[in-house]
Amino acid sequence: MSKETNNSMSPEEMAKASQDAIKAAMEQAQALYGNIPGFQSFDLAKMQEKLIADAAANIPGMEGKVQQPEMEDTSAMSPEEVMKMYSQGLDFVGHAMVQCDPDMMSDDMKDMLAGMDDMFDFEWEIERKDDGKLTPTQQRLLAFGAPLLVLSSDYVDSIETSHEMYNLKEMLKDSWDVTDRTSALETIGWLLHEGHHEKVDKVLAEVVAKGLDNLSEEELQDEETKTAEVCTTIEKMLEDGYCSAEDLPATALAWDLVRAVNMARWTHLFGYISEEEMWQTMQAVAESAGEHFASWNAYGLSFVLGRGAWQGDSDQCEGAYEIVSTLLEKAESPWMQFEFNLSNG
């Protein structure tokens, strides 16, 4: 699914909007704190350097409009490819920030980031390395982390990454405070056994039991308990036809399971955990998913619910749904190639 818009902005306006959006994100990030022990905000300064450098070098008319630090060579890329990468980079910033406390994110900054995202037209792609190094069993386990792999344009069929290792290591340090074996295992354990879904699920059960139409205005605006965020996400999913009321997920568990797979992969790449421990984590994810969901579709909707409810932003919910739809529709998707629950195969 694509995001289409008519862009009438001049290069000067694009440059200023880019800088303003990232500057606002950097300022807001200083105030963002999540609920993971030791969680810190993402280092947006490094993201700013990358995004602005690529925009200045490759988008026609942008030269000289933004400050250009040292960067990797992207001269072989077309303007369309650069614009797509730029858009996905902004979404990656949003992905990092979605793990922080959304109550401290200003509406102006949310609107600004959403406006930047609307400047670009692209479809979510499924990246494959096709090197044959993983067995079908291993590829199926990795598939439980596929939504974030698509989000970050990383390989869905390889433990190796398409990203710069330095950037990934900085992301683990700055966004998750994961720097060694102890912090890696602590974070993986938190995602598997508690995560963000625990709080969301409690509110979700109360909202469903009472009914959206029966909630008071005070309850609908209650951000302290996440009732507001959960209600916003439920309304988005139902009104836009992501699912019926009967198929509405009963848990946001998949949001944490998807991240657990990726955390295991990342921390193994840096030697914080062994390969065996990585596969054990992914196997635990697959077993938990099989106990709570009946299909990739149900698993994906739970991911959409969790991402949307944690952010309380309908745009994030929509983006997650687009990614899940891509995984459910494209032939190259691991979700199309492997059974969700082997006991049903």
- Model pLDDT for residues 77-99, shown as the tens digit of each residue: 555 555 555 555 554 554 444 44
Q: In terms of domains, do 34 and 85 share one?
A: yes
Q: Quick check: 239 pLDDT over 80?
A: yes
Q: In terms of domains, do 48 and 147 share one?
A: no
Of 186, 184, 183, 130, nearest to 157 by C-alpha is 130
Q: In terms of domains, do 317 and 266 share one?
A: yes
Q: In terms of domains, do 109 and 149 share one?
A: no
Q: Quick check: 338 pLDDT over 80?
A: yes
Domain boundary among 117, 147, 169: 117
> Mean pLDDT, to the nearest integer, of 196-207?
89
Tens-place pLDDT, residues 104-146: 455 655 565 555 555 445 689 999 999 999 999 999 999 999 9
Q: In terms of domains, do 297 and 176 share one?
A: yes
Q: Are 271 and 312 in contact (CB under 8 A)?
A: no
Whether 218 is covered by a domain: the verdict is no
The predicted structure's pLDDT at residue 111? 60
Whether 5 is covered by a domain: the verdict is no
Q: In terms of domains, do 104 and 153 share one?
A: no
Q: How far apart are CA 237 and CA 187, in angstroms?
A: 29
Whether 290 is covered by a domain: the verdict is yes
Whether 233 is covered by a domain: the verdict is no
Q: What is the 3-state secondary structure (H, E, C) of the chain?
A: CECCCCCCCCHHHHHHHHHHHHHHHHHHHCCCCCCCCCCCCCCHHHHHHHHHHHHHHHCCCCCCCCCCCCCCCCCCCCHHHHHHHHHHHHHHHHHHHHCCCHHHCCHHHHHHHHHHHCCCCCECCCECCCCCCCCHHHHHHHHCCHHHHHHCCCECCCCCCCCCHHHHHHHHHHHHCCCCHHHHHHHHHHHHHCCCHHHHHHHHHHHHHHCHHHCCHHHHCCCCCCHHHHHHHHHHHHHCCCCCCCCCCCCCHHHHHHHHHHHHHHHHHCCCCCHHHHHHHHHHHHHHHHHHCCCHHHHHHHHHHHHHHHHCCHHHHHHHHHHHHHHHHCCCCHHHHCCCCHHHC
Q: Quick check: 69 pLDDT over 50?
A: no
Whether 128 is covered by a domain: the verdict is no
The predicted structure's pLDDT at residue 37? 38
Q: In terms of domains, do 104 and 38 share one?
A: yes
Q: In terms of domains, do 34 and 78 share one?
A: yes
Could you tell me the two tokens for 156? Answer: 């869905």
Residues counted in the chain: 345
Q: In terms of domains, do 36 and 167 share one?
A: no
Q: In terms of domains, do 152 and 267 share one?
A: yes
Q: How far apart are CA 98 and CA 104, in angstroms?
A: 11
Q: How many domains does the chain have?
A: 2
Whether 211 is covered by a domain: the verdict is no
Supply the mean pLDDT for the chain.
76
Q: Please tell me the pTM assigned to this model.
A: 0.68
Domain containing residue 104? 11-117
Q: In terms of domains, do 73 and 15 share one?
A: yes
Tens-place pLDDT, residues 274-307: 999 999 999 999 999 999 999 999 999 999 999 9
Identify the sign of the CA torsion 302, 181, 26, 14: negative
Looking at the DSSP bridge assignments, the partners of residue 123 are 2
The predicted structure's pLDDT at residue 65? 46
Confidence at 71, pLDDT banded by 50, 70, 90: very low
- The amino acid at 168: L
Q: In terms of domains, do 280 and 335 share one?
A: yes
